[in-house]
Structure 1
Amino acid sequence: MSEMLRPLFLSHGAPTLPFEDVAARDFLKHLPAALPRPRAILVVSAHWETRVPTVNAVESNRTIHDFAGFPEALYQLTYPAPGDPQLADRIVDLLAEAGLPSATDTARGLDHGAWVPLMLAWPDADIPVVQLSVQSQLGPGHHLEVGRAIAPLVEEGVLIVASGSFTHDLSSWRGQAGMAEPEWVTEFADWFDAALGEGRTCDLLAYRRLAPHAQRNHPTEEHLLPLFVALGAAGSGAPVQRLHASNTYGVLRMDAYAFGASTISTNQKGKQS
């Protein structure tokens, strides 16, 4: 598997990440230097939930500000990346070949789960971007199968970016930087990292039962489900590399992973912030 084509899982953090002086922002800014340029990017975002896998098929992506109560400057940010309707059709075909029903959306743009990390990593917005939704009600196994279905894209110059959050308990979020990471966040993240590194796919699929504090870190699953798409797209038994680990606001782990056989040279451990 080519280095540039390795599926990625990126934690996108709060919508304000582009304005924050934190390790995760710096990691995303420097990530493309370790990757040859993709011909297109497919983003699987935690912030688009649908009944069946749905792909946006647009010529140009509008920027969706899918949040409220943030500083006005955030609403002025745009990421007008071109779309790729032909790639959208290709994804629909691959899902159909795997027996997975799907749909297209000819109006939707990019939510902040897509444009926040892309704006930091590829600020010129000149790479075509297609977005794929998640189905929270169907769980990790379904998303692993979605990833396996779209695996051929890896050999077609498409970078698969699964965008979510390694931990995501917003009920414990206090909106303050500098908070210490609670033990229940650390213990979950350490368990999940070990399971990924050891290739324990069955344990990962059962993480809500096996991982410590799983349901506290993920009261709902949508922010972890994109990771299973990236895992599936890499192929059975593919090695996993942690590219980055840091924390924002105490309860949000910002870890990032690459899935596949080659090694990406980048900073793996960031400061807490």
Structure 2
Amino acid sequence: MMPAFFIAHGAPLLAIEENEYTQFLTELGKTWRKPRAIILFSAHWTSKEQQVSDVEEYSTIYDFGGFPEALYRIQYPAKGNHKLAEEIGALLSKEGISYKVDTSRGLDHGAWVILRKLYPEADIPVISMSVNPLLTPEEQYRIGQSLSALRKEEVMIIGSGGTVHNLAAVNMMKDNGTADEWALGFDEWLARRVNSWDLDSLFQYDSLAPLASYAVPPYGNEHFIPLFYAMGAADDERTAALLHRSYRYGNLSHSVWQFGS
């Protein structure tokens, strides 16, 4: 059985930085036995209908600008897995979830930044999947839930985003590891509900969590919702563990949650 994870991908600079968080991700990749394949829901691939990638080998997407040249030279040539893509499609169809197959899109930085830290050899097949910010949390959870059986087939499921992600609030001059009180308050509320698997509260986070509209701006909830896809994938166990939490720039959270065993 493979766990599901929610992993914050932070800023693109993580790809070339060495710090507490990048070191944690590197060690996390060594902790678990290698999965047979990885399914990754990325905050940077949004669509109104579920997208499932089915490519032979991924290109690397540089979906950012104004960063050091070294970032644009990184390649992460992970391969896809046609059989697994078909299996995902069958599971979605079984639950009445409509989807489309994408045969050309590469891996965006929400995917390759963390995958490169976890598995730098790019030797594990990847199926990239989109997220839909227009769905309800219940619907997002259900999509992850539909894929939960794949964890028994040594498939790791990852939701990549960030629990607190408000670019209008970050302070690039504040990089001493301390967290703004409002960001910490939101994350602590979230941790209590996730640890108790309190779906009723989590599905109403936008009205119940302190300063939710600041931590998860309505225009930017695509970074938060991968949490629901990842949790849904472990609905059969409903166990959660916060493996890491740190902050950059005052409030950009680097949280890693493990769901299931």
Compute the TM-score of the two structures, normalised by the length of structure 2: 0.96
Residue 103 of structure 2 is aligned to residue 115 of structure 1: no
1:104 to 91, 101, 114: 101
1:210 to 197, 201, 208: 208
Equivalent residues in 2 for 1:66-77 (5 A)?
66-77=63-74
Q: CA RMSD in A?
A: 1.2
2:172 to 171, 175, 187: 175
Return the letter of the residue paired with 1:21.
Answer: E
Contact 1:22–1:248 at 8 Å: present in 2 too?
no
Q: Comparing 70-79 with 167-176, which one deviates more in the overlay? A: 167-176
Gapped runs of 5+ residues in structure 2? none
Equivalent residues in 2 for 1:56-67 (5 A)?
56-67=53-64
Contact 2:148–2:236 at 8 Å: present in 1 too?
no
After superposition, the Cα gap between the structure-2 partners of 1:79 and 1:175, relative to the gap in structure 1 and judged at 3 Å, is same
Q: Structure 2 CA distance, aligned partners of 1:234 and 1:184?
A: 29
Q: Structure 1 CA distance, aligned partners of 2:112 and 2:136?
A: 24
Contact 1:168–1:252 at 8 Å: present in 2 too?
yes
Contact 2:51–2:102 at 8 Å: present in 1 too?
yes
- Give the match for residue 224 of structure 1: 224
- Give the match for residue 191 of structure 1: 189
2:42 to 45, 56, 61: 45
Q: Structure 2 CA distance, aligned partners of 1:58 and 1:125?
A: 15
1:82 to 79, 83, 90: 79
Q: Deviations over 1:234-257 (max 9, x none)?
A: 015611011111111111110101
Q: Deviations over 1:2-26 (max 9, x none)?
A: 3xx0101100100110222322111
Gapped runs of 5+ residues in structure 1? 263-273
Return the letter of the residue paired with 1:190.
Answer: E
Return the letter of the residue paired with 1:72.
Answer: E
After superposition, the Cα gap between the structure-2 partners of 1:138 and 1:178, relative to the gap in structure 1 and judged at 3 Å, is same
* 3-state SS, counterpart of residue 134 of structure 2: helix
Contact 2:177–2:246 at 8 Å: present in 1 too?
no
Question: In the TM superposition, what is the alpha-carbon distance from 1:173 to its structure 2 partner?
Answer: 1.6
Q: Structure 2 CA distance, aligned partners of 1:42 and 1:175?
A: 32
Contact 1:11–1:166 at 8 Å: present in 2 too?
yes
Q: Structure 1 CA distance, aligned partners of 2:177 and 2:199?
A: 32
Q: Deviations over 1:174-229 (max 9, x none)?
A: 32322631111010000000101112111001100100011101112101111101
Q: Structure 2 CA distance, aligned partners of 1:130 and 1:158?
A: 10
After superposition, the Cα gap between the structure-2 partners of 1:27 and 1:19, relative to the gap in structure 1 and judged at 3 Å, is same
Contact 1:139–1:221 at 8 Å: present in 2 too?
no
Q: Structure 2 CA distance, aligned partners of 1:175 and 1:83?
A: 36
